[in-house]
Chains A and B, each alone.
Chain A
Amino acid sequence: MHLETDVLVIGAGGAGMYAALEADRAGASVILADRSLIGRGGATVMAQMTVAVALGEQTPDHWEYHLADTLTAGRGLCDERLAAILCEDGPRRIREMDDWKVGWAREDGHIKQAQAPGHDRPRCVYVDFLSTGPAVSRTLRTQLNGVSGIRRIGDLAIVDIAVRDGEACGAVALHVPTGRIVTIAARSVVIATGGLTRLYRRNSASSNMGGDGYALALRAGAELIDMEFVQFFPIGHLAPRLVGMDPIMWDPFRYKLGGKLLNSEMQEFEEGYASADTRSDGNYVLTRDLATYAISKEVEAGRGSPAGGAYLSFQHIPEADIRRAFGPVVDRLAANGIDLARQPVEVAPIAHYHMGGIRVDDALQTKIAGLYACGEAVGGANGANRLSGNAITEALVFGARAGRHAALRASNGAVAWSAEAARPAVDLVNSATRRDAPNTAAMIVELQALMAEKAGPFRTDENLRIAADALARLTRDIGETPLSSADGFDPVLVDWLDLRNMLLVAQSVVLPALARTESRGAHQREDYPGLDDSWAVNQLVSLSDGRLELSRSAPVTGRGAA
């Protein structure tokens, strides 16, 4: 089956949906494809609360202050141009979402803005404590429904970007329910596939975020940047087993009620680690990288909770206050056997967001003409560590910008489809064979355990080398011929294609992590503690003749046009 469009957007989370809307607004025809349902996978729908933006509604603010905080958190590695776009264009997108009735929480006639760690003032808008992401997704889905120029196609997994003479000209996809191969001719292609948290055993995003977009970009000839910087969310829910709620739900509780992090001796320990951070606000002390460090060090010192994390306790807060703050959420917790007034829960760091990603210019175009990226798939705006609240803003701002530029390019004619450019990916899927071993589902679990243990938030030369060797072995094990098990909705074939991507992306994390012999932001080397000024550079990963290559580049400074 063959489809044609001006702009192909891959991934229908917040960034992809906004890109599609903006490309349509600029007059392009659009196909919005997602490997699962439109607007329900990805990370946006999972976001709990905060969206950082310098609206100045709560207190006077300016996007330059937001930028200063973003650059500080990024510890010298931000692409200043991209960070400035994020901060400057944020208010426009947040107000457009307001016009679209997303329902930002209001107080005394203005949009309410909450304080979050790392921000110099109250800056984070939200809809509700636990449902900002679902509200953002729903609002964008509603906008999509009202537009006729966007064709939405779910259950469509992109296998590869088609590149002709160094320019993107479309993509090859697998229609999961039928197993059919679909080729899509497009004048511009936008990658909006989110991050790579699925590489880790414990993560806070959807299972469809295995870094597909990074692998697509690499194989198309584009570069990746800052891939060693994986953000771990410090207080992901660990125990008791909680169903029907997102594991990162405890952040809003802490914004509102404080909440104490305790070790197995029931001692608070955050302050001991806070001295290194001058930006603490006293109430909710540590930025994410420092909190992850603090909890992991307590566990390592034998002071962890039974399940291997820290206790988070609200027992010092009167039951009525907990009820007043969280209402029906308290009942949902009770259904999970949790009574916050009487018992602490256990929390531990959990893979949450990827600072690294596809390297783009200020039009969000990659090195490959006609190939764009937006949202979490982009690397650079957040440097070595992302501020709380910047991810949704980034999704909306970069989504709109990538969509607009992709449409502009499409309107200027550009590349024609080449069946030849699509052939390798078509042949790959067609070569799938039914064989029993290896078990692809077990291999994904093995990969996730490996990355968590050897390439998690704390790294050593020895562990990273073990990871690199094991990734090479797993890559050999999956072979070059896809596995299949059925004609339609074949989870084995999907796993194999996922592993092909996940293994390449995992190697793209391990390679720069091994090279960076210092500790900075989310990349912490036990054998190289502390910042090393000579490492104030970005690392780039590219693919050449099937081999990953690493190079260095000075961080981009200055401002682009907004």
Chain B
Amino acid sequence: MKATLAIQRGSPGEASHTETLEVAFEPGQSVLDGLRVLRRDIDPSLAFRFSCINANACKECMMLIDGKVDYACTVRLKEGVTTLAPLPKKKLIRDLVTEIAPPDERLLPSS
């Protein structure tokens, strides 16, 4: 099966663009699985956060999936288009990465 991921990319201060990439998957695989395959096979510069991969313990992979705030590690890949965007209410860092650390756990208070 093939999933189509429409991914919002870009850095702060530049116009974002949407990149549409296809990824083969087996039923049950997560959106995070798909993103990791895309980095391996197509573009290693694609930026997204994750730490625990599967357990939903680190909560780092939060993003906007089909317009809804969710975890990439628990939403499953599906056939057809899935849109991915960074969290809208957090400061953009790059691509799907936003500033999610508590303010007192950052190097720079304003970063």
Closest to B97 in A: A489
CA distance A90 to B100 in the complex (A): 34
Chain A residues 18 to 58 lying within 8 A of chain B, measured CB to CB, are 36-38, 40-41, 45-46
Interface code B38-53, partner A: CB below 8 Å = 1, 0 otherwise? 0111001111011111
Kindly list chain A residues whose C-beta atoms are within 8 Å of the C-beta of B56: 243-245
Q: Does B22 lie at the interface of the complex (its beta carbon under 8 Å from any beta carbon of A)?
A: no
Kindly list chain A residues whose C-beta atoms are within 8 Å of the C-beta of B11: 486-488
**In the bound complex, do residue A36 and residue B58 qualify as a contact, i.e. CB atoms below 8 Å apart?**
yes
Closest to B95 in A: A489
Interface code A441-462, partner B: CB below 8 Å = 1, 0 otherwise? 1100100000000000000000
**In the bound complex, do residue B30 and residue A243 qualify as a contact, i.e. CB atoms below 8 Å apart?**
yes
CA distance A505 to B74 in the complex (A): 31
Contact of B51 among A1, A180, A207, A442 (CB under 8 A): A207
CA distance A134 to B106 in the complex (A): 22
Of A155, A208, A243, which is in contact with the most chain B CB atoms at under 10 Å from its CB? A243
Contact of A36 among B36, B51, B74 (CB under 8 A): B51
**In the bound complex, do residue B45 and residue A40 qualify as a contact, i.e. CB atoms below 8 Å apart?**
no
Kindly list chain B residues whose C-beta atoms are within 8 Å of the C-beta of A488: 11, 93-94
Kindly list chain B residues whose C-beta atoms are within 8 Å of the C-beta of A45: 52, 57-58
**In the bound complex, do residue B26 and residue A206 qualify as a contact, i.e. CB atoms below 8 Å apart?**
no
Q: Does A69 lie at the interface of the complex (its beta carbon under 8 Å from any beta carbon of B)?
A: no
Closest to A491 in B: B47
B110 to chain A, nearest CB (A): 11
Q: Does B78 lie at the interface of the complex (its beta carbon under 8 Å from any beta carbon of A)?
A: no
The size bracket of the interface on A is 35 or more
Closest to A38 in B: B105
Kindly list chain A residues whose C-beta atoms are within 8 Å of the C-beta of B36: 441
The size bracket of the interface on B is 35 or more
Q: A37-B51, A152-B105 are in contact. Are A178 and B58 (CB under 8 A)?
A: no
Kindly list chain B residues whose C-beta atoms are within 8 Å of the C-beta of A489: 47, 93-95, 97
Q: Does A133 lie at the interface of the complex (its beta carbon under 8 Å from any beta carbon of B)?
A: yes
Is the contact region of chain A dominated by helix, strand, or loop, or is it mixed? loop
Q: Does A149 lie at the interface of the complex (its beta carbon under 8 Å from any beta carbon of B)?
A: no
Q: Does A153 lie at the interface of the complex (its beta carbon under 8 Å from any beta carbon of B)?
A: yes
Kindly list chain B residues whose C-beta atoms are within 8 Å of the C-beta of A155: 101, 106-107
Kindly list chain B residues whose C-beta atoms are within 8 Å of the C-beta of A523: none
CA distance A546 to B41 in the complex (A): 32
Q: Does A154 lie at the interface of the complex (its beta carbon under 8 Å from any beta carbon of B)?
A: yes
CA distance A272 to B27 in the complex (A): 36
Kindly list chain B residues whose C-beta atoms are within 8 Å of the C-beta of A490: 45, 47
11 further interface pairs, Cβ-Cβ under 8 Å (given A45-B57, A182-B107, A246-B52)? A40-B59, A40-B60, A46-B57, A177-B97, A177-B99, A178-B108, A206-B52, A207-B51, A208-B51, A241-B26, A244-B55
8 A-B pairs closest in CB distance: A241-B28, A485-B45, A246-B55, A441-B39, A441-B44, A244-B74, A489-B94, A41-B51
Q: What residues of chain A have their CB less than 8 Å away from a CB belonging to chain B?
A: 1, 36-38, 40-41, 45-46, 133-134, 152-156, 175, 177-178, 180, 182, 206-208, 240-247, 336-337, 439-442, 445, 485-492, 495
